[in-house]
Amino acid sequence: MNNKGILIIISGPSGAGKGTVVEELKKDTNYMLSISATTRAPRKNETDGVHYFFKTAEEFEKMIDDKKLLEYASFCGNYYGTPVDYVNEKIENNKEVILEIEVQGALQVKKIYPDAVLIFLTPPSMGELRKRLEGRATETPEKIKMRLDRATEEFGIIDKYDYIVINDSVENAVENIKCIVKAEKMKAYRNLNLKSVLKGDILNA
C-alpha cells in the first residue's frame, strides 16, 4: 500500500460536535490538525508554527498570488488560510492531516486537492442540534435560529461531500472516520504503484 497520509476535511453545522471529534482524533499520533496562516496578531502564549503561522498582510497576499494556500478567507479584518506546503509535507510523511473548515472552504480545497476526503459531520437529528445549541449558555435565541438556518443551507450541499458521518456518539464518529481513512488508503487509484511493483515482482518470482 502507498504510505502517504490523507487530507481529511471535516465540516458540519455548528453544534455537530466537530471540535470534540477532532480532539479525540488527535489523540492518535497519526492524526494532526493543520496549522493555519493568519495575519491576526499573536496572542499571549501563541507560538508561530505551533498555533498559527503568523504573517504580515503583504506576506499573506503573496501566498495567495503564489497559490500557496489551499483555501483562505478574511474574518474581522484578518486573513486566515491553509498553507499548501505545510499540508503536503505532513501528507508525504504519512500523517493524516485534518482541516476543520466550513462548506465553501471545503469545496475550494477539493478543487485544488482532489485527493482530499470531505467528511460532513452531522448530529443525529435537528432536534438534537437545537438541544445542543440551547445547552450552550452563550447562544441567544436569535443566534440559535441563525445557526439552524445556516445548517439547513449546509445540508443543501452534502452531495458535494464524499462521506456523511452521524455524530450520535463521539466514540462512534471517531471510529467511523478512522474506518473511512483506512478504506480510502485501499482505494485503487491511491495504490497504482502496486501495479508495477507486483508486475516486476512476477518477472522475478
CB of 179 to its own copies, least distance (A): 5
Round to whole Å and give the CA distance between 185 and 85: 21
Distances (CA, A) of 116 to 45, 61, 85, 160, 188: 32, 24, 15, 12, 15
Query: Residue 147: what residue type?
Result: R
Classify burial at 4, counting beta carbons within 10 Å of its beta carbon; exposed 0-12, middle 13-18, buried 19 or more: middle
Q: Render 36-61 in DSSP notation, one character per residue.
A: EEE-SPPPTT--BTTTEEE--HHHHH
Residue 182 touching its own copies (CB under 8 A): yes
Q: Does 139 bind its own copies (CB under 8 A)?
A: no
Instruction: Please count the residues of this chain forming the interface with its own copies, following the rule CB under 8 A.
Output: 42
Residue closer to its own copies, measured from CB, 78 or 191: 191
Please tell me whether residue 151 binds its own copies under the rule CB under 8 A: yes
- Measured between alpha carbons, how far is 96 from 203 in angstroms, rounded to an integer? 35
| Cβ proximity to its own copies, 82 vs 176, nearer residue | 176
Rounded to a whole number, what is the distance in angstroms from the first to the last CA of the chain? 20
Q: Does residue number 54 form part of the binding site for its own copies (CB under 8 A)?
A: no
Instruction: Out of 77, 127, 135, 141, name the contact with its own copies by CB under 8 A.
Output: 127
- Which stretch in 36-44, 53-61, 83-91, 195-203 sits in contact with its own copies by CB under 8 A? 195-203
Note whether 137 binds its own copies by CB under 8 A. Answer: no
Going from the C-alpha of 7 to that of each of 23, 30, 109, 112, 115, the distances in angstroms are 16, 12, 10, 12, 7
Residue pointed to by grid coordinates 448530529: 123
Shortest reach from residue 131's CB to its own copies, in Å: 9
Beta carbon nearer to its own copies, 135 or 156: 156
- Least CB distance to its own copies at residue 107 (A): 13
Binding site for its own copies (CB under 8 A): 1, 120, 122, 125-127, 129-130, 148, 151-152, 155-156, 158-166, 176, 179-180, 182-184, 186-189, 191-192, 194-195, 198-199, 201-202, 204-205
